[in-house]
């Protein structure tokens, strides 16, 4: 898992790249409400893409395997990947619209409205499956999250055979449907509390973390179960039980979108550097805190 000294680790991510339309609203929304929003912007998004951008910021080399449509959104996404320094030669351009998401931040609630065109998903996956050997050729780690499930499974199997670290993000929503097939390949697993508890049948995040670690064949895998403002539970090789790491202390009212992806980036970067499980969790929390500190707070109504 540890990258040789003197060489910058390279992480290849397979997953969505999408345009996030982020809307910040100062009050909870109700039926027939018509509030004024306090901020609106268009930005690069997608869980895998967010993690790669954060890894790049931490000094790692990153490459994205994904798909965009042949529309203005696709051109915007490719331009933003270039701006962040994420390699995109394996981002397939296919006919049709690109993926997008409306991120509605109305603390304490957050609503994500996805638009993932099925033709884009099918066409991109077909192209990506022909490039799997190229993706792992000089990678230190591959990062997946259940999107493009057939390509992701084949990529993880190939990476595992070649001794490349497999990083898996197990989150909520329909993306989690592809996770069970990938779980057996994961060397580094960061899971949302809701998914971890549901998958293992555990009563607590701590118990779920311990169960996920020993479900892997061979030695225990490195696992962190994230619990939002309640921090995370982490275990792995060298630890007898899960340890708790506090969440970063940030100002109230901050939009939280992308914080979990930033946590995974800090966690994975530390793991590739040979850090202990506890050190990985603290690095993840620090990166999540950095991400949140740069967010725009929702002003009081």
Output the six-digit token pair for 135.
């993706």
Distance between CA 189 and CA 156 in Å, rounded?
13
Cα Rg, the chain, nearest whole Å: 19
Output the six-digit token pair for 105.
């931040």
Distance between CA 66 and CA 154 in Å, rounded?
15
Residue whose pair of structure tokens reads 């202390």 in the numeric block: 249
Residue closest to 180 by CA, chosen among 165, 202, 164, 196: 196
- What is the structure's pLDDT at 300? 43
- Please tell me whether the peptide bond between 169 and the residue prior to it is cis, using omega within 30 degrees of 0: no
Output the six-digit token pair for 122.
């099918």
- What is the structure's pLDDT at 247? 81
Distance between CA 155 and CA 185 in Å, rounded?
10
- What is the structure's pLDDT at 113? 86
Distance between CA 205 and CA 298 in Å, rounded?
29
Distance between CA 160 and CA 186 in Å, rounded?
9
- What is the structure's pLDDT at 276? 92
CA torsion, ordered 153, 154, 160, 162, to nearest 10 deg: -160
- What is the structure's pLDDT at 298? 45
Contact, 51 vs 265, CB < 8 A?
yes
- What is the structure's pLDDT at 224? 95
Query: Tens of pLDDT along 77-135?
Result: 999 999 999 999 999 999 999 999 888 877 777 788 889 888 888 888 898 999 999 99
Give the CA count within 13 Å in the CB-facing half-sphere of 200.
Answer: 25
Contact, 167 vs 264, CB < 8 A?
yes
Low-confidence ranges of the chain (pLDDT < 50): 298-301
Query: Tens of pLDDT along 145-155?
Result: 988 899 999 99
- What is the structure's pLDDT at 272? 96
């Amino acid at each position: 898992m540890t990258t040789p000294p003197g060489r910058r680790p390279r992480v290849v991510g397979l997953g969505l790249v999408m345009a996030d339309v982020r809307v910040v609203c100062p009050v909870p929304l109700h039926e027939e409400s018509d509030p004024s929003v306090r901020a609106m912007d268009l930005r690069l998004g997608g869980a895998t893409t967010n993690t790669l951008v954060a890894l790049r910021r931490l000094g790692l080399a990153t490459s994205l395997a994904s798909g965009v449509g042949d529309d203005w959104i696709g051109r915007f996404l490719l331009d933003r990947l270039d701006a962040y320094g994420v390699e995109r030669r394996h981002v397939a351009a296919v006919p049709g619209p690109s993926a997008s998401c409306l991120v509605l931040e109305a603390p304490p609630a957050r609503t994500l409205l996805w638009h993932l065109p099925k033709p884009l998903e099918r066409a991109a996956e077909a192209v990506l499956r022909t490039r799997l050997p190229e993706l792992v050729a000089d990678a230190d780690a591959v990062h997946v999250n259940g999107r493009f499930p057939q390509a992701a499974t084949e990529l993880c199997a190939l990476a595992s055979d070649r001794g490349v670290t497999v990083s898996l993000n197990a989150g909520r929503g329909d993306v989690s449907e592809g996770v069970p097939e990938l779980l057996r390949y994961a060397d580094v697993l960061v899971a949302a509390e809701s998914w971890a508890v549901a998958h293992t049948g555990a009563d607590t995040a701590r118990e779920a973390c311990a169960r996920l670690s020993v479900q892997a064949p061979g030695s225990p895998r490195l696992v962190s179960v994230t619990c939002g403002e309640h921090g995370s539970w982490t275990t792995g090789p060298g630890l007898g039980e899960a340890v708790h790491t506090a969440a970063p202390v940030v100002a109230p009212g901050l939009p939280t979108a992308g914080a979990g992806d930033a946590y995974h980036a800090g966690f994975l970067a530390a793991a590739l550097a040979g850090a202990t499980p506890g050190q990985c969790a603290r690095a993840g929390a620090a990166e999540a805190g950095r991400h949140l500190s740069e967010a725009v707070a929702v002003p009081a109504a």
